[in-house]
Amino acid sequence: MRTLTGIQPSGTLHIGNYFGAMRPAIDAQSRGECFYFIADYHSMTSLFDPAERRKHTLGVALDWLACGLDPKHSVFWRQSDVPGVVELSWLLGTLTPMGLLERAHSYKDKTGKGFSPNFGLFAYPVLMAADILLYDTERVPVGRDQKQHLEMTRDIAIKFNLAYGETFVVPESEIREDLAVIPGLDGQKMSKSYGNTIDIFGEEKATRKKIMGIVMDSRTPAEPKPDADKNLAIQLLKLFAAADVAVDFENRLRAGGLGYGDLKKALFEHYWNYFAAARARRAELAANLDHVEAVLRDGAGRAHAVARVVLKRARRACGIE
Ligand code: ADP
Ligand code: TRP
C-alpha cells in the first residue's frame, strides 16, 4: 500500500496541519510505503515572495523530520525537484473539464474573498492530481477540506484511463473524522489564513499568551457548565492529554469549580510537553542543515525513479511517445 501526501510551504505549520495531515501520515509509516513531499509549486499560487518560500520550505522540512518522518523508511522530497509533475499536470489538464475546476471550493473561497485568481490557482487541483497519480498512489491522508480535491483526482484518473487505456491507479482518500477539523483559537477551523493558529513549534512565551487569550464566556468558576464538552480548551486538551486526564478536566469543568484560567494553563502545559521531544529533535536538525538537504536530495532521487516509469506510461498511453 503506497501512501502519499503533500503540504504547502505557504506558512508556519500549526496543530491543525499536524493532527489533520502529518500525524496520520507519520502513523502510516508502520503500515507500508510512504511518499511525502513539500508542495512548493502549489505555494506559488498564493505566495509571491521567494525568500518566504525558501524559509517555509526549510521550515516544513524540519517540522516533518522532527515530528517523526523517517527518511530511511519514507521518501521525502521537494515537489519541484521532480519537475515531471508539471508535464503530467499538462497531460491531465487536457482531459479536465472546465466545469469541474469551476466547482472547486478552494478556488471559489479564494476568489470569493477578493483574491484575484491566476491560472495556477484555477489549475491547482490538476497539479494536485498529477502529484498523486505520478507515484501510483493508493492512499492519501488529508483533512476534510481536501476531500473535493481527492474526488477530482479520482475523476481525472478515471477519465484518463477511459480515454487512453488503464494507466493510473485510482487513489482513496483517508480522512479521519475524529480529527478532521481542528478548531482554531476563535473556534473556527484552524487555518494559516485565519490567523487563529497554535503553531506546532511556536515560541514558548508567544504561544502561552495566545492560549491564555482564548476568549471564554463570563460564567464564574463555581458555576456548573453542562456544556463542558463544547468548550474549546477542552476540545484542544483532548488532542494533547491522555484520555483519562482530559475527561477529568471536562468533568471538573462540568461540575463547577474549575476556572477558565486554570484550564487554559493546563492546556498550554500539555501542548508544550506533547511536542517536547520533537522540539529537541528540530533544534538538532536546524543545526545540521547539510543533513536536511541531503535527505531531500536523496528523496528526490527515489521519487524520480518512480515518476519516470509512470510518466513514460502516461506519455505512451496518450501517443506522445
Ligand atoms: P491552512 O488551512 O492552514 O492553509 P493547508 O491548507 O496548507 O492549511 O493544509 C495542509 C494540510 O493540513 C491539509 O491536508 C489540510 O487538510 C490539513 N489541515 C489544515 N488545517 C486543518 C485543520 N484545522 N484541521 C484538520 N486538518 C487541517
Ligand atoms: N492541496 C494540499 C493542501 O492544501 C497540498 C497538496 C498538494 C497535496 N498536492 C498534494 C496533498 C497531493 C495531498 C496530495 O495542503
**Among 55, 72, 192, 225, the one annotated catalytic:** 192
Say whether pLDDT at 180 is over 80.
no
Check residue 131 and give its pLDDT. 98
Question: Which ligand has the shortest distance to the CA of 180?
Answer: 1
- In angstroms, rounded to a whole number, what is the distance separating the alpha carbons of residues 267 and 235? 10
Q: How confident is the model at residue 189 (pLDDT cuts 50, 70, 90)?
A: very high
Q: What is the tens place of the pLDDT at every residue in 132-167?
A: 999 999 999 877 788 999 999 999 999 999 999 999
Check residue 178 and give its pLDDT. 65
Q: Quick check: CB of 6 below 6 Å from ligand 2?
A: yes
CA 112 to chain centre: 23
Say whether pLDDT at 2 is over 80.
yes
Q: Note if 264 is an active site residue.
A: no
Would you state the cell numbers that stand for residue 22, as one nine-digit string? Answer: 502529518
Would you state the cell numbers that stand for residue 292, as one nine-digit string? Answer: 536536511
The model carries a pTM of 0.93
CA 184 to chain centre: 15
Q: Note if 55 is an active site residue.
A: no
Check residue 296 and give its pLDDT. 98
Say if strands 75-78 and 33-38 run parallel, antiparallel, or are unpaired: parallel
Say whether pLDDT at 100 is over 90.
yes
Ligand 1 atom closest to the CA of 14, numbered from 1: 3
- Pocket probe for ligand 2: among 2, 4, 5, the residue whose CB has the most ligand atoms within 8 Å is 5
The radius of gyration of the chain from alpha carbons, rounded to an integer in Å, stands at 21
For the chain, percent of residues with pLDDT exceeding 70? 98
Q: What is the tens place of the pLDDT at every residue in 7-42?
A: 999 999 999 999 988 888 898 899 999 999 999 999
The single-letter DSSP state of residue 188 is S
| Mean pLDDT confidence for 184-202 | 94
Check residue 144 and give its pLDDT. 77
Select the highest-mean-pLDDT range: 88-97, 116-125, 178-187: 88-97
Q: Output the CA torsion 135→144→190→74 (10° steps).
A: -30
- In angstroms, rounded to a whole number, what is the distance separating the alpha carbons of residues 84 and 92? 12
Say whether pLDDT at 268 is over 70.
yes
Q: What is the tens place of the pLDDT at every residue in 66-92?
A: 999 999 999 999 999 999 999 999 999
Q: How confident is the model at residue 300 (pLDDT cuts 50, 70, 90)?
A: very high
Name the residue with cell 508502520: 30
- In angstroms, rounded to a whole number, what is the distance separating the alpha carbons of residues 163 and 97? 13
142 CA distance to ligand 2 middle (Å): 8
- In angstroms, rounded to a whole number, what is the distance separating the alpha carbons of residues 67 and 76? 13
Q: What is the tens place of the pLDDT at every residue in 161-179?
A: 999 999 999 999 888 776 6
Question: Which ligand has the shortest distance to the CA of 188?
Answer: 1
**How does the average pLDDT of the chain come out, rounded?**
95
Residues 32 and 145 sit within 8 Å (Cβ to Cβ): no
Check residue 179 and give its pLDDT. 65
10 CA distance to ligand 1 middle (Å): 11
The residue whose C-alpha atom lies closest to atom 20 belonging to ligand 1 is: 16
Check residue 101 and give its pLDDT. 96
CA 104 to chain centre: 18
Q: Is 115 helix (H, G, I), strand (E, B) or coil?
A: coil
Q: Note if 192 is an active site residue.
A: yes
Would you state the cell numbers that stand for residue 171, as one nine-digit string? Answer: 487513489
Say whether pLDDT at 93 is over 90.
yes
- Which domains are assigned to the chain? 2-182+289-318 (3.40.50.620), 202-274 (1.10.240.10)
